A = this chain, B = another copy of it.
Amino acid sequence: MEWRNDKAIYLQVVEWFKHNVILGMYAPGDKIPSVRELALKLEINPNTVVKVYDILNSEGLIEAKRTNGYFLTDDLEILERLKPFFAKEYIVQYLNNMKQIGYTKEQAINLLKESKD
């Protein structure tokens, strides 16, 4: 893993984790890597992973079972919310990019429609 230096690592890991969830890396209720495992894999400090898991926990995305590890929530509603969450981010990003180079929202939509991709 490589980290951008324009954003706190723990924030990047939070996003990375959510992305993995969207991509179906873990099933609802699955055990996820332990704090130490993930720290080793990502080559970051365990405390940073703790911070990440704290955030994910407070968002209801994962749950801690003492001495058993962390588990992905089986609350499907919370999991369903992930996609629109990212979508919103991507939309804002796209519109900002386009506005920065001088396009309006309408133009951003039209250029998108005309694209072949």
Interface residues of A (CB under 8 A from B): 2-6, 19, 22-23, 58, 82-83, 86-88, 90-95, 97-98, 100-103, 105, 108-109, 111-113, 115, 117
A22 touches B112 (CB 8 A): no
User: Given B2, B23, B101, which contacts A5 in the complex, CB threshold below 8 Å?
Assistant: B2
A97–B103 contact, CB under 8 A? no
- Which secondary structure dominates chain A's binding surface? helix
CB of A86 within 8 A of CB of B112, answer no
Quick one: closest B residue to A84, CB to CB? B111
Are the C-beta atoms of A87 and B91 separated by less than 8 Å? no
CA distance A38 to B90 in the complex (A): 32
